[in-house]
Chain A
Amino acid sequence: EAGVTQSPTHLIKTRGQQATLRCSPISGHTSVYWYQQALGLGLQFLLWYDEGEERNRGNFPPRFSGRQFPNYSSELNVNALELEDSALYLCASSLGPLAPHPFTDTQYFGPGTRLTVL
């Protein structure tokens, strides 16, 4: 069974540009989560999608957005890139939210996309 895949592996952008990161969940998983792992800030929850809808987001500005497609893959878009957006962006998937608490699902993580903003 294929795991969670992310592309690209590395992405280099300049300040002010837009970045698009992609994630394919494990087959059969409907929930996709995005996390940012930045140096000095640790691992932070960004976004959660399930069945095509944004279900929750962490404390990030609106220039961090995304979507989930009908095949449950997901895209994370970061607009107006800033230097501090440089980080490893991790995607995870799970079978789907166990009401009422999705984070009790076991999440399976991809290897991440390393975004560098120059």
Chain B
Amino acid sequence: AQSVTQLGSHVSVSEGALVLLRCNYSSSVPPYLFWYVQYPNQGLQLLLKYTSAATLVKGINGFEAEFKKSETSFHLTKPSAHMSDAAEYFCAVSEGSSASKIIFGSGTRLSIRP
């Protein structure tokens, strides 16, 4: 069965600092992995997705994530935080099977300090 764990429900960084949001997954078959962002009072927006091609995935707004099979991780990073990055971030996993379900992590709220 697939599952996803996001470590840290709230992360706070200074503007210009590195952003690191952690995501670990569990899947019995090669997974598809996603990061979504939800700005206040808005729906979700796809940041990036891993679909078994390159292990380092680049997304929008300067974010990227690296798929590490040995660590079952898919951490999200951004070299330099911007105030506009303040939002809730969700990691999600879906198995590459016809069952076609998606499981979301509990979310990490990112705050940016001036």
Q: Which residues of A pack against B, CB within 8 Å?
A: 4, 42-45, 48, 55-56, 58, 90, 92, 97, 100-104, 106-107, 109-112
Contacts and interface: CB of A to CB of B under 8 A. Distances in A.
What DSSP secondary structure best describes chain B's contact surface? loop
* B-side interface size class: 20 to 34
Given A101-B100, A103-B100, A42 B105 contact: yes
Nearest to A44: B104
Contacts of A107: 44, 46
What DSSP secondary structure best describes chain A's contact surface? mixed
Nearest to B52: A104
6 contacts: A42-B106, A45-B102, A45-B104, A58-B101, A103-B94, A104-B51
B43 A109 contact: yes
B43 to A, nearest CB: 3
A58 B100 CA distance: 10
Interface string B44-60: 11100101000000000
Given A101-B32, A101-B96, A104-B51, A111 B43 contact: yes
